[in-house]
Chains A and B, each alone.
Chain A
Amino acid sequence: MSSKFGLAGGIPERRVRPIWDAIDSRQFKNALKLVTSLLSKYPKSPYALALKALIHERMGKPDEALSVCLDAKELLYNDDLALMDDLTLSTLQIVLQRLDHLDLATSCYAHACGKFPNNLELMMGLFNCYVREYSFVKQQQTAIKMYKLAGEERFLLWAVCSIQLQVLCDKSGEKLLLLAEGLLKKHIASHSMHEPEALMVYISLLEQESKYNDALEVLSGDLGSLLMIEVDKLRIQGRLLARANDYSAAVDVYKKILELSPDDWECFLHYLGCLLEDDSIWKYFDNIDQIHPTKHIECKFSHLTEEMFDSRISSASDLVQKLQRDNENSNLRGPYLAELEIEKRKFLFGKKNENKLLESLLQYFLKFGHLACYASDVEAYLQVLSPNKKAEFVGMLVKNSDSFSDSATKVLGQTTTILKVQELTGNIFELPVDEIEASAVKLAKLYCQNLSLSKDLDPQESMFGEELLSLISNMLVQLFWRTRDFGYLAEAIMVLELGLTIRGHVWQYKILLLHIYSYVGALPLAFERYKALDVKNILTETVSHHILRQMLESPMWVDLSNLLKDYLKFMDDHLRESADLTFLAYRHRNYSKVIEFVLFKQRLQHSNQYQAARVEAAVLQLKQNADSVEEEERILENLKSGVQLVELSNDIGSKTLRFNEDMQTRPWWTPCPEKNYLLGPFEEISYCPKEDVKDDREENMKRAIQRKSLLPRMIYLSIQCTSTALKESAETNGSGGDVKICGELKCLLDEYTKMLGCSLNDAVEMITGISQGVRTSESLGSNFVDWLNFAVFWNAWSLSSHEHWHVLNSLFERLILDRVRSMGSSDMSSCYSDVQVLIQIVTEPLAWHSLIIQACTRSSLPSGKKKKKNQHSDQLSSSPMSQAIKDSIHSLCSTIQEVSSWLLNQLNHQEDEQVERFLSTLKRDEDAAGGPGQILGVLESFIASSEELEVGNRIFQALKSWNTADTARKTVMAQQRVLREFLQICESKRKLLETLKQQMSHV
Chain B
Amino acid sequence: SSFEGDLRKEEMTTIRRFSCNDLLRFTSVNLDHLTETFNMSFYMTYLARWPDYFHVAEGPGNRVMGYIMGKVEGQGESWHGHVTAVTVSPEYRRQQLAKKLMNLLEDISDKIDKAYFVDLFVRASNTPAIKMYEKLGYIIYRRVLRYYSGEEDGLDMRKALSRDVEKKSVIPLKRPITPDELEYD
Residues of A that sit less than 8 Å from B by CB: 228-231, 235, 260-267, 288, 291-293, 295, 330-332, 334, 337, 371-373, 376-377, 379-380, 458, 460-462, 505, 507, 533-534, 536-539, 541-543, 570, 573-574, 577-578, 580-582, 584-585, 588, 590, 592-593, 596-597, 599-600, 603, 660, 662, 664-665
The residue that B9 contacts in the complex, of A260, A462, A542, with Cβ under 8 A, is A260
**Which chain A residue lies CB-closest to B31?**
A507
Q: How far is the CA of A584 from the CA of B45 in the complex (A)?
A: 7
**Are the CB atoms of B51 and A662 closer together than 8 Å?**
no
Most interface-central of A291, A337, A380 (chain B CB within 10 A):
A291
Q: How far is the CA of A534 from the CA of B11 in the complex (A)?
A: 33
**Are the CB atoms of B12 and A334 closer together than 8 Å?**
yes
Dominant secondary structure of chain B at its interface with chain A: helix
**Which chain B residue lies CB-closest to A577?**
B41
**Are the CB atoms of A596 and B37 closer together than 8 Å?**
no
**Are the CB atoms of B91 and A543 closer together than 8 Å?**
no
Question: Is B60 on the interface with A (CB-CB < 8 A)?
Answer: yes
Looking at B20-28, B136-144, B163-171, B175-183, the stretch in contact with chain A turns out to be B20-28
**Are the CB atoms of B13 and A228 closer together than 8 Å?**
no
**Are the CB atoms of B31 and A539 closer together than 8 Å?**
yes
**Are the CB atoms of A380 and B60 closer together than 8 Å?**
yes
Residues of B8-52 contacting chain A, CB below 8 A: 8-9, 11-14, 16, 19-21, 23-25, 27-28, 30-34, 37-41, 43-45, 47-49, 51
**Are the CB atoms of A260 and B33 closer together than 8 Å?**
no
Question: Is B75 on the interface with A (CB-CB < 8 A)?
Answer: no
Question: Is B1 on the interface with A (CB-CB < 8 A)?
Answer: no
Q: Which 7 A-B pairs have the closest CB atoms?
A: A263-B12, A600-B20, A585-B48, A662-B27, A507-B31, A581-B44, A266-B14
The digit string for B119-134, where 1 denotes a CB below 8 A from any CB of A, is 0000000111000000
Contact-residue size bin, chain B (C-beta under 8 Å from the other chain): 35 or more
**Are the CB atoms of A331 and B27 closer together than 8 Å?**
no
Question: Is B90 on the interface with A (CB-CB < 8 A)?
Answer: yes
Residues of B134-158 contacting chain A, CB below 8 A: none
Q: How far is the CA of A665 from the CA of B40 in the complex (A)?
A: 22
Residues on A with beta carbons closer than 8 Å to the beta carbon of B39: 537
**Are the CB atoms of A533 and B31 closer together than 8 Å?**
yes
Question: Is B61 on the interface with A (CB-CB < 8 A)?
Answer: yes
**Are the CB atoms of B20 and A597 closer together than 8 Å?**
yes
Min C-beta distance of B2 to chain A, whole Å? 17
Q: With A264-B12, A371-B95 in contact, do A665 and B44 touch (Cβ < 8 Å)?
A: no
Q: How far is the CA of A507 from the CA of B33 in the complex (A)?
A: 8
Min C-beta distance of A38 to chain B, whole Å? 32
**Are the CB atoms of B27 and A543 closer together than 8 Å?**
yes
**Which chain A residue lies CB-closest to B9?**
A260
**Are the CB atoms of B31 and A376 closer together than 8 Å?**
no
**Are the CB atoms of A461 and B40 closer together than 8 Å?**
no
**Are the CB atoms of A590 and B49 closer together than 8 Å?**
yes
Q: How far is the CA of A584 from the CA of B19 in the complex (A)?
A: 16
Q: How far is the CA of A585 from the CA of B11 in the complex (A)?
A: 28
The residue that A230 contacts in the complex, of B8, B21, B44, B59, with Cβ under 8 A, is B8
CB<8 Å pairs between A and B, sample of 20: A228-B111, A260-B6, A261-B8, A263-B13, A264-B11, A266-B14, A337-B60, A373-B59, A373-B91, A376-B60, A460-B128, A462-B93, A539-B30, A543-B31, A570-B40, A581-B40, A590-B47, A590-B48, A600-B21, A660-B24
Q: With A261-B11, A331-B95 in contact, do A377 and B25 touch (Cβ < 8 Å)?
A: no
Q: How far is the CA of A963 from the CA of B8 in the complex (A)?
A: 53
Most interface-central of A332, A372, A592, A603 (chain B CB within 10 A):
A372
**Are the CB atoms of B37 and A536 closer together than 8 Å?**
yes
**Are the CB atoms of B127 and A596 closer together than 8 Å?**
no
Q: With A260-B8, A537-B40 in contact, do A593 and B128 touch (Cβ < 8 Å)?
A: no
Min C-beta distance of A269 to chain B, whole Å? 9
